[in-house]
Amino acid sequence: MTGVLEGFALIGAIILVGYLLGRTRILGEKADAVLSRLAFFVGAPALLFVTLSQAKVTTLIDDRSLLSYGLACAMILTYVVVARFVMRQPAAETVIGGLCSGYVNAGNLGIPIAVYALGGAQEAAPSMVFQLVVLAPASFVILDLLERRHAGIRLRDAFAPLLNPLVLASAAGVVCAATQWQPPEVVMAPVQTLGGLAVPAMLLAFGISLRGSPLPGRSPVRAQLVLVVALKSFVQPLLAWVLGAAIGLDAHALLVVVVIAALPTAQNVFTYAMRYDRGVMLARESVLVTTILAVPVVLVAAALLS
């Protein structure tokens, strides 16, 4: 329980610093965009490579991990179907909304919670790896192709999504993990240092963006926000509990899969929205509301299943 609170306190403190920076304008008017680009092009790729290169491949395909992957995909697909065919939302905004619905904060919030409440950081690793290797690159490919749709796709444009820095970093990290080869320390040391930029830059950019933003639920994306919150904060952890018990997960594995599913929308999604300038308001409000709701949901799950 203490670990859950410490994880939320950590993320809240950095966002607050970002908000104060935004209020005082110390970093200028475009600070959130600059920090988001710094995270997207430098910090996040470095962090991805370091994390994935040290991952244990065997833990990525057990029952617990596969259930988490399936739930994330189910939430994303549910949002996409409803938003695209019922709400008639634009395609690119629908992609961002889908990520808001299933892409959990397994990194900067999931890791401290896993360390203090679930027995170790490795409990959050499978979901983080799946999101970084599968969900994020697939989304970038779709968003890159949508960006080029109206201009016409030339041959070199068709390969452009594969040159995304996060896709390249993910691929390199997976190759290192699969071959069990680690670059020399002289290479890894600066990469690890740059990776340390990712989480603070994302959280600070998010905090700065809150300056002058309307209260959640009062913006034009209220209907989409309600759908995201319902899927992310309630349906995903509830299904994790029901399906985890149905397939016979032991007590600890069930606790892990429910807590991971109950984590809020990751700040990464806001960074991606900023990068493509699509669904920024929805991403910002989704991160904020689901993070607030995750506190009681995760605490209840930990209390009932510990």
Q: How far apart are CA 203 and CA 270, in angstroms?
A: 10
Which carries the bigger pLDDT value, residue 216 or residue 89? 89
Query: What per-residue confidence (pLDDT) applies to 116?
Result: 64
Name beta bridge partners: 104. Answer: 265
CB of 266 closer than 8 Å to CB of 205: no
Nearest in space to 251 (alpha carbons), one of 262, 261, 260, 241: 241
Query: What per-residue confidence (pLDDT) applies to 214?
Result: 64
| pLDDT tier at 158, thresholds 50, 70, 90 | very low
Averaged confidence pLDDT in the chain: 83
Is the confidence at residue 165, as pLDDT, over 90? no
CB of 128 closer than 8 Å to CB of 51: yes
Give 178-229 pLDDT, tens digit per residue. 888 889 999 999 999 998 888 788 888 878 877 766 666 677 888 999 999 9
CA 54 from centroid of its chain's CA atoms: 19
pTM, 2 dp:
0.75
| pLDDT tier at 93, thresholds 50, 70, 90 | very high
With a pLDDT cut of 90, the percent of the chain lying above it is: 30
Query: What per-residue confidence (pLDDT) applies to 155?
Result: 45
| pLDDT tier at 115, thresholds 50, 70, 90 | low
Q: How far apart are CA 120 and CA 117, in angstroms?
A: 8
Query: What per-residue confidence (pLDDT) applies to 2?
Result: 63
Query: What per-residue confidence (pLDDT) applies to 242?
Result: 96
Query: What per-residue confidence (pLDDT) applies to 127?
Result: 87
Query: What per-residue confidence (pLDDT) applies to 213?
Result: 64
Query: What per-residue confidence (pLDDT) applies to 157?
Result: 47
Q: How far apart are CA 146 and CA 250, in angstroms?
A: 43
Is the confidence at residue 117, as pLDDT, over 90? no
Is the confidence at residue 253, as pLDDT, over 80? yes
Is the confidence at residue 121, as pLDDT, over 80? no
- Give the domain CATH number at 295: 1.20.1530.20
- Region of poorest pLDDT, from 43-52, 221-230, 249-258: 43-52
| pLDDT tier at 163, thresholds 50, 70, 90 | low
Give 259-306 pLDDT, tens digit per residue. 999 998 988 898 889 888 899 999 989 988 998 898 888 888 888 886
Question: Which residue range(s) make up the domain with 265?
Answer: 2-305
Written as one letter, the residue type at 209 is: S
Query: What per-residue confidence (pLDDT) applies to 120?
Result: 64
DSSP symbols for 242-280 = HHHHHTT--HHHHHHHHHHHHS-B-HHHHHHHHHHTSSH
Q: Which two tokens stand for residue 280?
A: 């920024």
Number of domains in the chain: 1
Strands (E), 79-129: none
